[in-house]
């Protein structure tokens, strides 16, 4: 999965020479994907000092949704790459206070993404009421905000969002359930099973990986079909390796033999999966037997 924000812009040495006011001005230019704006935001975040915090919190009080959104963006990773806990808490205080009264969908999306970085436990209760928001971008922000939490309420929120009408929301929520948490439960597994027939290829792949990591027997046949399909994705191969069932080895080897000899990421992942399953086939099978309850299952 890609990150929630646009790809980070390359560090610009000139940004480090600019004043806070100059960087804020650049941050407010362009659209949401403007790389110059994001370079300015990143420069502000790296400073992590009092003047930047003051400038960002001032933006939160602006009548302009764009300015409020940029203020939230700055606070989300202020002090990167290693912000002190006290600074993260101050930033979360400000972002959560903004959330309490915010109505703009783009700002609410930014708040969810910012809270995903701040990892404040208060975010879960604050974001859950937005699960049913009419705007898909807001719900996507909620997904990001819940990804970094493992308490039952956050997991239940992701389960609900994994069945969302918007495919990006479903995709990210499924990724969160399958790969971003070690939590395991019957409800979580059932949610992943429901995504095995999703219309989005990547979402199906994320469900395969999540179930394979949990050694759920229901993944085996869907995984066979995915590996035997016309196009095999990296996630299906990763799932095969995670499941560790040597019976999948012929399908993986057949796929590799049909590929071009040139190196590629998919071929590298295939090679790793094949090697792992060959080793697995030579050792006693100590996996959970079908129908048995794995140690992590709640």
For each of the chain's 298 residues, which pLDDT tens digit applies? Answer: 644 445 444 445 566 789 999 999 999 997 778 899 999 999 999 999 999 999 999 999 999 999 999 999 999 999 999 999 999 999 999 999 999 999 999 999 999 999 999 999 999 999 999 999 999 999 999 999 999 899 999 999 999 999 999 999 999 999 999 999 889 999 999 999 999 999 999 999 999 999 999 999 999 999 999 999 888 999 999 999 999 999 999 999 999 998 877 779 999 999 999 999 999 877 654 444 333 333 333 2
Which part of the chain has CATH 1.25.10.10? 17-149, 185-284
What's the pLDDT score for residue 261?
A: 75
Q: How far apart are CA 49 and CA 31, in angstroms?
A: 26
- Which pLDDT score, from 0 to 100, does residue 283 have? 61
- pLDDT of res. 8: 44
Other CB atoms within 10 A of residue 143 CB: 29
Write down the CATH number for the domain with range 17-149.
1.25.10.10
Name which of 284, 209, 281 is nearest 246 in CA terms: 281
Nearest to 236 by CA among 202, 262, 260, 198: 202
pLDDT for the residue 39: 94
3 CB neighbour count, 10 Å cutoff? 10
pTM for this prediction = 0.87
Closest CA to 70 of 109, 96, 122: 109
**What kind of architecture, by CATH, is found in domain 185-284?**
Alpha Horseshoe (1.25)
The predicted pLDDT at position 295 comes to: 32
pLDDT of residue 16: 73
- For residue 291, the model assigns a pLDDT of 36
Per the CB < 8 A criterion, the answer to whether 211 and 189 are in contact is: yes
Residues 9 and 36: beta-carbon distance below 8 Å? yes
């Amino acid at each position: 999965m890609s990150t929630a924000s646009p790809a980070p812009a390359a560090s610009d040495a000139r940004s480090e020479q600019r004043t806070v006011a100059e960087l804020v001005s650049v941050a407010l230019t362009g659209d949401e994907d403007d790389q110059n704006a994001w370079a300015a935001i990143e420069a502000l975040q790296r400073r992590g000092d009092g003047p930047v915090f003051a400038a960002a919190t001032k933006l939160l009080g602006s009548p302009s949704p764009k300015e409020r959104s940029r203020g939230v963006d700055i606070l989300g990773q202020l002090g990167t790459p290693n912000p002190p806990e006290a600074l993260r808490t101050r930033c979360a205080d400000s972002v959560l206070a903004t959330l309490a009264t915010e109505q703009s969908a783009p700002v609410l999306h930014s708040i969810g993404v910012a809270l995903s970085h701040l990892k404040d436990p208060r975010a879960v209760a604050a974001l859950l009421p937005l699960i049913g928001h009419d705007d898909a971008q807001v719900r996507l922000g909620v997904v990001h905000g819940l990804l970094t939490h493992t308490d039952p309420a956050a997991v239940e929120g992701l389960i609900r969002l994994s069945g969302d009408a918007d495919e990006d929301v479903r995709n990210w929520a499924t990724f969160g359930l399958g790969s971003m948490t070690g939590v395991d439960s019957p409800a979580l597994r059932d949610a992943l099973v429901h995504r095995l027939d999703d219309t989005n290829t990547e979402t199906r792949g994320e469900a395969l990986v999540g179930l394979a990591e949990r050694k759920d027997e229901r993944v085996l046949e869907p995984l066979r079909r995915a590996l035997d399909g016309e196009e095999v994705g990296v996630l299906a191969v990763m799932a095969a390796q995670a499941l560790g069932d040597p019976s999948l080895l012929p399908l993986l080897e057949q796929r590799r033999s049909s590929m071009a000899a040139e190196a590629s990421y998919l071929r590298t992942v295939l090679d790793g999966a094949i090697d792992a399953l060959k080793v697995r086939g030579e050792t006693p099978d100590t996996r959970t037997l079908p129908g048995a309850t794995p140690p992590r299952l709640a």
